[in-house]
Amino acid sequence: MYTQGLDQAGKDKQLASEAEDRLSAFQARVDAEEKIEAKDWMPEAYRRTLVRQISQHAHSEIIGMQPEGNWLTRAPSLKRKAILLAKVQDEAGHGLYLYSAAETLGVSRDQMVADLLSGKAKYSSIFNYPTLSWADIGAIGWLVDGAAIMNQIPLCRCSYGPYARAMVRVCKEESFHQRQGFDIMHALCSGSDKQKAMAQDALDRWWWPSLMMFGPNDSESKHSAQSMAWKIKRFSNDELRQKFVDVTVQQADFLGLSIPDDDLQFDDTTGHYTFGEIDWQEFLDVIAGNGPCNRQRLEKRKQAHDDGAWVREAAQEYALKQAARTAA
């Protein structure tokens, strides 16, 4: 009895050293570029980080259907209509792949959806901006998908196998998304003055929110270092943002559009563009729920979920009856 406390202390110590061994073995696997699979041992924080990141990514795809879906019924040609629908459908598919990847970590899709609808889970800030003209559909494809693909390609090599595999599929399918956006912008910029003005207005409104998509500056990013060590993340926010600016400016020049940033300049010594300061207050506001469309987006999602409840239940009830009939 007297030694109970001591025994416990000894056991704790032993447990601690076992945990440390497992942790370093895990890190060694990651460092060796081995993939971690669903049933492998992993640190709890690794699992939590992945669930957070993958579900946020899935939510972004699902909420992201709305701003573009907003123009499906008004697309200006049958060809554009079909292309846009195929793209919005891909987003539903990508949400589905990503939810599936997160489910391998032991969290249910129901739970993730509940977290989204309650406002607990986040999604990309960009989808809280409105699509006000047809040119916005072009700008989203060109800029938002362009930014997304830069983020996503490195994720194909993420240390977590199911996420990496989902991302391979996503990236393969998304390769047409940015092109169709640029194609819309190109058609507008080759059109009438009014169409060109529409394109410029869309660029003006989507440029800065697109830069915000890469997340806070590296100095402010709280999860970055650990995610890099775990090879969930391969490049820093600022590195990716810089890459995006560098390639996009040239594309805007081609279209004859001007980037809405007076400080934008090419730096001969670095070979990169320098650009103005992002309005981080706006970013924080939108993340906190105060963007132009936050409420509307969640409300629509919630409505769909609630309206579908009787349908999901009916299907389940029918499956139960069928199973009972087969058993009888």
Partner 1 sequence: MSKQEWPLYEVFIRSKAGLSHRHAGSVHAADDQMALDNARDTYTRRSEGVSLWVVRSDRIVASDPAESAAFFEPAEDKIYRHPTFYDIPDGVENL
Partner 2 sequence: MNSEQALNRYTLRLADNALILAQRMLELVAAGPELEEELANANFALDYIGQARMFYSYAAEREGQGRTEDDFAFMRDEHEFGNLLLLEQPNGHFGDALVRQFLFEIFYRHLLDALTQCADQRLREIAARAIKEVDYHCRHSSQWMIRLGDGTGFSHARVQASLDDAWRFTGEMFVADDVDKLMQDGFDGPDLAAIHALWRRDVGKVVAEATLDLPADEWMADGGKQGRHSEHFGFLLAEMQYLQRSFPGATW
Residues that bind partner 1 (CB under 8 A): 37, 39-41, 89, 93, 96-97, 100, 103, 108-110, 166, 169, 173, 312-313, 315-319, 322
Closest CB 93 distance from partner 2, rounded Å: 6
**In one letter, which amino acid is 52?**
R
- Is the torsion defined by CA of 123, 163, 142, 131 positive or negative? negative
CB contact at 8 A, 213 and 148: yes
Closest CB 297 distance from partner 2, rounded Å: 10
> Can residue 98 be called a binding residue for partner 2 (CB under 8 A)?
no
Q: Which of 69, 146, 181, 216 binds partner 2 (CB under 8 A)?
A: 69
Closest CB 20 distance from partner 1, rounded Å: 19
**How distant, in Å, are the alpha carbons of 28, 37, 47, 115 from that of 109?**
31, 19, 16, 10
Q: Which is nearer to partner 2, 266 or 318 (CB)?
A: 318
Distance CA 217, CA 205 (A): 21
Closest CB 95 distance from partner 2, rounded Å: 6
Q: Which of 318, 324, 326, 328 binds partner 2 (CB under 8 A)?
A: 318
Query: Which residue, chain included where needed, has tokens 């992993």?
Result: 42
> Can residue 212 be called a binding residue for partner 2 (CB under 8 A)?
no
> Can residue 131 be called a binding residue for partner 2 (CB under 8 A)?
no
Closest CB 261 distance from partner 1, rounded Å: 38
37: partner contacted, choices partner 2, partner 1, none (Cβ within 5-8 A by kind): partner 1
Distance CA 238, CA 200 (A): 26
Here the tokens at position 129 are: 């901006």
Closest CB 176 distance from partner 1, rounded Å: 10
Q: Which of 15, 45, 225, 315 binds partner 2 (CB under 8 A)?
A: 315
Helix ranges (H only) for 104-160 are 109-117, 134-139, 145-152
72: partner contacted, choices partner 2, partner 1, none (Cβ within 5-8 A by kind): partner 2
Q: Binding to partner 2 (CB under 8 A): which residues in 271-300? A: 300
- Residue 265 in 3-state DSSP? strand
Closest CB 212 distance from partner 2, rounded Å: 23
Identify any residues that bridge with 272 across adjacent strands, giving them in sequence order.
267
Q: Which is nearer to partner 1, 23 or 96 (CB)?
A: 96
Q: Which of 19, 92, 114, 197 binds partner 2 (CB under 8 A)?
A: 92
- Is the torsion defined by CA of 278, 167, 142, 272 positive or negative? positive
> Can residue 328 be called a binding residue for partner 2 (CB under 8 A)?
no
- Is the torsion defined by CA of 288, 282, 123, 131 positive or negative? positive
196: partner contacted, choices partner 2, partner 1, none (Cβ within 5-8 A by kind): none
**In one letter, which amino acid is 13?**
K
CB contact at 8 A, 122 and 62: no
Here the tokens at position 244 are: 């995006």
Distance CA 54, CA 248 (A): 27
- Is the torsion defined by CA of 181, 184, 188, 191 positive or negative? positive
Q: Which is nearer to partner 2, 191 or 256 (CB)?
A: 191
Q: Which residues bind partner 2 (CB under 8 A)?
A: 62, 65-66, 69, 72-82, 85-86, 88-89, 92-93, 95-96, 99, 134, 184, 187-188, 190-192, 194-195, 300-301, 303-304, 307-318, 321
